[in-house]
């Protein structure tokens, strides 16, 4: 929160563990850590911070934990922001959804009742729904904003609170700053109030939505489908799908069935919502541990395609069958390139590619995206990391009629191919990946064949992404220290046979020419804590940034060459240097 209300950990601990305002479970949980100064400090040294990604943290009792009180605090601040708008905007209300995590329904309902206390109408989903459906619902119901209770792909001990603006995109920085200031002004959580559910429903301030939203969302997706005939020819394509115990099961299976696929097999152990994620340590399609059961089932049924969605169904993972019959996990960059090539080529074939079309990706995603876009005469915009920035490009160019949005993606397994959702959408990605596989089957090819064709056409790229996890107070200091050290002296990074020629600092908004020392302004309107180091060939790069939602430093190494082996070797060298250097600094 603000500096004036920086909490004293021991005083807050005493308040939360003894005051009757807090429920019995909260007080009992805290009494169990009595005398553990380090644990008390960890739980109470700060309030969970509200950023452009909302809140995210470990569930438990304390100001630095996700619980009904921190969620209510965020909702109170959000409500005060809405109170500052016009009466018409306020009456448009909010829509709230939630995922399969422990406490998600409780957090969603408590949030709704805080808004109701302010006279702000809330539509609450009648069962869990994915993040892209929440984004769609904000626009569909013409709401002033929305809330999604989710920690996305984090481990089971986490939960989160994502705030959305009226365009269906995540809250822009200016509005998030207002909400953050409102949170900082609430010095005593015991002042928080909410309506009871019966009163909120009776006054029309809380309504439940479901079936109409499902129908509208599916009808929208059907308009995004490109080749309606190809699925008819390959309706028996064998697709193994896992929602990883999240909320993708119903919408993904519905849309695949609606477009004609008849052989979709859902991993049974991971089909139903489960806050423990069937003991998967990281329910994230980026992680190999998330694919164990899917691969086992794929081998059993000899699947043509294997797809996964994360718990809130905004990220999509993909396995492809190699020539030796084994299954390979594709990177987010590879999936994004495949979808971009398929969508653009299919639209050219159907003469539906508008001459002013554009695609969007991020500064840490693959450089091959720009090559693909250029080959189709399509503009490729680069944004900061965070899908809200891709949504802002849609608002800036598509909504104003200046250009036509076709596709956007980021390397962290996020994809979008429609304009009525302003966040990454795993449901539409599953639909288009399956359609792409059916189209490949027309030529007796697999998706892996498509990937190899793409590399032969545009050159080989290897992008290695890894994270250095540093939890707690000390971890925050280590991550900040590493960023500061490399800002001060980029020569700490020494790459054999590779020369850093430029450093792009997206926090200062500058780019430094390392050969001449000249510093210029970056063409990026928004600032972010990202450093990107470019090499002499102007395509290879390494980048680092602190995660906005997890206690980790993310590292990106991208290398491009005429052969797969050369690009891989170069990327592995980059990763080795980055790992060794950052470990040494931290």
Domain hosting 82: range is 3-209
CB 76 within 8 A of CB 185: no
pLDDT confidence tier of residue 467, bands split at 50, 70 and 90: very high
Stronger pLDDT, 63 or 5, i.e. the higher one? 63
Q: Are residues 361 and 349 in the same domain?
A: yes
User: Of 433, 458, 483, which residue is a domain's last?
Assistant: 458
* 3 has pLDDT over 70: no
**CATH code at position 522:** 3.30.310.50
Domain boundary pick from 209, 225, 251: 209
> Cα 133 to chain center, whole Å?
14
Q: Is the pLDDT of residue 342 over 70?
A: yes
Residues 365 and 475 both lie in one domain: no
Number of domains in the chain: 3
Helices marked H in 323-404: 332-349, 368-375, 387-393
Q: Starting from the edge strand earliest in sequence, which strands make up the sheet with 414-416, in order? A: 379-383, 357-362, 404-410, 414-416
The span from the CA of 540 to the CA of 148, in Å, is 36
431 and 551 inside one domain: no
Q: Is the pLDDT score of 1 beyond 50?
A: no
Same domain, 426 and 546: no
Q: Are 135 and 422 in contact (CB under 8 A)?
A: yes
d(CA 371, CA 534): 18
Binned at pLDDT 50, 70 and 90, residue 174 comes out as confident
Distance of alpha carbon 232 from the chain centroid: 32
Residue 582: which of 561, 558, 553 has the closest Cα?
Answer: 553
What is the edge-to-edge ordering of all strands in the sheet holding 158-164? 55-58, 158-164, 145-149, 94-98, 122-125, 206-209
Q: Return the ∠ at Cα 369 (arms to 365 and 372), rounded to 5°.
A: 170
Closest to 371 (Cα-Cα) out of 363, 380, 384 = 380
Per 3-state DSSP, what percentage of the chain is helix, strand, and coil (rounded to 5)?
Answer: 45, 20, 35
Do residues 195 and 235 share a domain?
Answer: no
Neighbouring C-beta atoms of residue 385, cutoff 10 Å = 24
Alpha helices in 260-327 (DSSP H): 292-301
Residues 252 and 266 in one domain: yes
- Kindly state whether residues 433 and 479 are assigned to the same domain: no
Position 51 pLDDT exceeds 80:
no
Q: Which two tokens stand for residue 500?
A: 């850093």
**Mean pLDDT, residues 5-15 taken together:** 84
- Are residue 467 and residue 450 in the same domain, yes or no? no
pLDDT at 146: 98
Evaluate whether 426 touches 132 at the Cβ level (below 8 Å): yes
Strand partners, 410: 414
Q: Check whether residue 453 and residue 469 sit in a common domain.
A: no
**Same domain, residue pair 160 and 139:** yes
Looking up residue 331, the CATH number of its domain turns out to be 3.40.120.10
Q: What pLDDT, on the 0 to 100 scale, is given for residue 7?
A: 62
Task: Region of 93 please: left (phi>0), alpha (psi -120 to 50) or beta.
Answer: left
Which percentage of the chain shows pLDDT scores above 90?
87
Q: What is the pLDDT of residue 476?
A: 87
> 93-108 burial string, b = 16+ CB within 10 Å, else e?
bbbbbbbbbbbbbebb
Contact 319, 347 (CB under 8 A): no
Note the Cα 384 to chain centre separation in Å. Answer: 13
What's the pLDDT band for 6 if we cut at 50, 70, 90?
Answer: low
> Backbone phi, then psi, for 533, in 5-degree steps?
-110, 120
DSSP structural state of residue 46: S
DSSP character for 395? I
Helix pair 426-442, 249-259: axis angle to 10 deg: 30
Output the pLDDT for position 2: 42
pTM: 0.93
pLDDT digits (tens, 9 = 90+) for 176-226: 889 999 998 998 999 999 999 999 999 999 999 999 999 999 999 999 999
The rounded mean pLDDT for the chain is 94
pLDDT attached to residue 4: 40
- Cα 245 to the center of its chain, rounded Å: 17
579 in the same domain as 536: yes
Flag whether pLDDT at 147 surpasses 90. yes
Range with the largest mean pLDDT of 184-193, 254-263, 483-492, 507-516: 254-263
Average pLDDT in the 428-454 region? 97
Rounded distance between C-alpha atoms, residue 310 and residue 313, angstroms: 5
| Beta-bridge mates of residue 469 | 552
Question: Could you give the CA distance from residue 384 to residue 519 in angstroms, rounded to a whole number?
Answer: 20
Domain final position from 458, 493, 522: 458
Phi, psi of 550 (to 5 degrees): -140, 155
User: For 345-362, how does the pLDDT look when each residue is reduced to its tens digit (9 = 90+)?
Assistant: 999 999 999 999 999 999
Catalytic residues: 152
* pLDDT tens digit sequence for 521-569: 998 888 899 999 999 988 999 999 998 767 899 999 999 999 999 999 9
Q: Do both 7 and 132 map to the same domain?
A: yes
């Amino acid at each position: 929160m603000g500096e004036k209300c920086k909490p004293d950990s021991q005083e807050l601990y005493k308040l939360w563990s003894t005051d009757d305002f807090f429920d019995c479970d909260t007080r009992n949980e805290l009494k169990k850590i009595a005398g553990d100064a380090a644990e008390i400090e960890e739980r109470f040294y700060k309030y969970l911070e509200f950023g452009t990604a909302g809140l995210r943290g470990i569930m438990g009792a304390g100001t630095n934990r996700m619980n009904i009180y921190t969620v209510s605090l965020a909702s109170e601040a959000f409500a005060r922001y809405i109170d500052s708008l016009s009466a018409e905007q306020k009456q448009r209300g909010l829509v709230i959804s939630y995922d399969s995590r422990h406490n998600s329904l409780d957090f969603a309902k408590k949030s709704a009742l805080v808004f109701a206390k302010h006279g702000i109408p809330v539509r609450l989903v009648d069962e869990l729904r994915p993040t892209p459906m929440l984004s769609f619902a904000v626009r569909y119901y013409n709401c002033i904003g929305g809330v999604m209770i989710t920690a996305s792909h984090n481990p089971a001990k986490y939960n989160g609170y994502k705030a959305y603006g009226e365009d269906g995109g995540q809250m822009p920085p200016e509005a998030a700053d207002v909400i953050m200031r409102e949170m900082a002004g609430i010095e005593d959580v015991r002042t928080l109030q909410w309506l009871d559910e019966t009163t909120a429903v009776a006054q029309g301030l809380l309504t439940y939505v479901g079936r109409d939203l499902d129908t509208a969302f599916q009808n929208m997706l059907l308009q995004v489908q490109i080749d309606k005939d190809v699925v008819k020819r390959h309706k028996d394509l064998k697709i193994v799908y896992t929602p990883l115990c999240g909320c993708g099961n119903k919408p993904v299976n519905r849309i695949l069935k609606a477009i004609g696929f008849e052989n979709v097999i859902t991993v049974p152990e991971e089909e139903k919502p489960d806050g423990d994620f069937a003991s998967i340590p990281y329910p994230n399609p980026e992680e190999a541990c998330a694919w164990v059961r899917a691969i086992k089932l794929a081998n059993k049924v000899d699947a043509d395609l294997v797809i996964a969605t994360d718990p809130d169904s905004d990220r999509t993972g993909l396995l492809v069958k190699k020539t030796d019959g084994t299954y390979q996990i594709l990177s987010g960059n590879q999936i994004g390139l495949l979808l971009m090539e398929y969508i653009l080529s299919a639209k050219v074939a159907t003469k539906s590619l508008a001459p002013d079309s554009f695609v969007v990706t991020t500064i840490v995603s693959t450089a091959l995206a720009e090559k693909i876009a250029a080959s189709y005469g399509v503009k490729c915009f680069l944004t900061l990391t965070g899908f809200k920035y891709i949504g802002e490009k849609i608002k800036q160019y598509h909504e104003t009629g200046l250009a036509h949005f076709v596709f956007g993606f980021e390397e962290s397994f996020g994809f979008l191919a429609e304009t009525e959702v302003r966040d990454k959408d795993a449901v539409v990605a599953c639909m288009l990946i399956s359609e792409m596989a059916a189209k490949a089957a027309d030529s007796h090819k697999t998706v892996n064949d498509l990937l190899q064709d793409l590399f032969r056409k545009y050159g080989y790229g290897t992008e290695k992404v890894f994270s250095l996890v540093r939890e707690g107070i000390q971890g925050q200091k280590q991550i900040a220290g590493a960023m500061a050290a490399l800002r001060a002296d980029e020569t700490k990074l020494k790459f054999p046979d590779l020369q850093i020629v430029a450093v792009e600092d997206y926090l200062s908004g500058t780019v430094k020419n390392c050969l001449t020392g000249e510093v210029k302004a970056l063409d990026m309107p928004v600032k972010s804590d990202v450093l990107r180091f470019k090499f002499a060939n102007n395509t290879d790069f390494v980048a680092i940034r602190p995660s906005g939602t997890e206690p980790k430093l993310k590292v990106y190494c991208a290398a491009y060459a005429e052969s797969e082996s050369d690009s891989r070797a170069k990327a592995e060298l980059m990763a080795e240097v980055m790992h060794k250097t950052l470990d040494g600094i931290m």
